[in-house]
A and B are shown apart, each in its own frame.
Chain A
Amino acid sequence: EPEVTQTPSHQVTQMGQEVILRCVPISNHLYFYWYRQILGQKVEFLVSFYNNEISEKSEIFDDQFSVERPDGSNFTLKIRSTKLEDSAMYFCASRARQGAFMNTEAFFGQGTRLTVV
């Protein structure tokens, strides 16, 4: 069964360092997302990406964050200068299509646990 793959599963980084989280979405999907979940809190939307550009982003997704789809298969989230409060589980998700009246479900990866020390 197709699945969203994320690497690494766990990343520890020093405050102020740059990190890149990687995702391989399901191959025929067109819409890509990043979410995060701080320990004990709800899953929060960060950014959506379609047709090689950001289609929507939340207030959390400030200038420290960027996304890229460099080669048609990988989808990356970069945090330029990590802060302690960036420590969270980061989930990548992908979706097949968005029709006029119906939506398909989003499939999530297993996440990358980012720990900033």
Chain B
Amino acid sequence: EDQVTQSPEALRLQEGESSSLNCSYTVSGLRGLFWYRQDPGKGPEFLFTLYSAGEEKEKERLKATLTKKESFLHITAPKPEDSATYLCAVQVRGSQGNLIFGKGTKLSVKP
């Protein structure tokens, strides 16, 4: 069964304290791995797409990496406005573009 597991469930950081979020996946064939940010009561907001092991993408304080079994979202010197739930999702080869989501990591950054 295709599965996505994210850890930790929740992460509390001080402003400026860098850390990483993990997304491990078990799929029959990976078409793409996606990172989204979700604020309370809002829809997922697209951050990154990764397609193959070794690929990296960066945007401001965020950097996403991909291996054959997992992806990491590295947050460098986070600010309070980075507080949100970060969702990882995979698209399986042969599907029609639908995404399998993990439960997410709720990040809180305190000033």
In contact, B96 and A108 (Cβ under 8 angstroms): no
In contact, B43 and A31 (Cβ under 8 angstroms): no
| Residue in contact with A103 in the complex, picked from B32, B45, B100, B102, CB distance below 8 Å | B32
In contact, B103 and A106 (Cβ under 8 angstroms): no
| B53 CB-CB contact with A under 8 Å | no
What A residues does B34 contact at CB under 8 A? Answer: 105-106
Given the complex of chains A and B, what is the CA–CA distance between A58 and B96 in angstroms?
12
What B residues does A55 contact at CB under 8 A? Answer: 96
| A95 CB-CB contact with B under 8 Å | yes
| B110 CB-CB contact with A under 8 Å | no
* Given contacts A42-B104, A105-B34, A110 and B49 within 8 Å (CB-CB): no
In contact, B97 and A107 (Cβ under 8 angstroms): no
In contact, B104 and A108 (Cβ under 8 angstroms): no
Question: What is the interface of chain A mostly: helix, strand, loop, or mixed?
Answer: strand
Chain B interface size band reads 20 to 34
What A residues does B10 contact at CB under 8 A? Answer: none
Contact with B along A85-104 (1 / 0, CB 8 A): 00001010001001000111
In contact, A45 and B98 (Cβ under 8 angstroms): yes
| B31 CB-CB contact with A under 8 Å | yes
In contact, A91 and B96 (Cβ under 8 angstroms): no
Given the complex of chains A and B, what is the CA–CA distance between A4 and B46 in angstroms?
12
In contact, A56 and B44 (Cβ under 8 angstroms): no
In contact, B44 and A33 (Cβ under 8 angstroms): no
What B residues does A89 contact at CB under 8 A? Answer: 41
Instruction: For chain A, residues 4 to 44, give those with C-beta under 8 angstroms from any C-beta of chain B.
Output: 4, 6, 31, 33, 35, 41-44
Q: Closest approach, in angstroms, between the C-beta of A21 and any C-beta of chain B? A: 13
Q: Closest approach, in angstroms, between the C-beta of B73 and any C-beta of chain A? A: 15
| Residue in contact with A109 in the complex, picked from B43, B91, B97, CB distance below 8 Å | B43
In contact, A31 and B42 (Cβ under 8 angstroms): no
* Given contacts A31-B97, A45-B99, A95-B97, A106 and B46 within 8 Å (CB-CB): yes
* Chain A residue at minimal CB-CB distance from B42: A110
Contact with B along A53-90 (1 / 0, CB 8 A): 00110100000000000000000000000000000010
Given the complex of chains A and B, what is the CA–CA distance between A102 and B50 in angstroms?
10
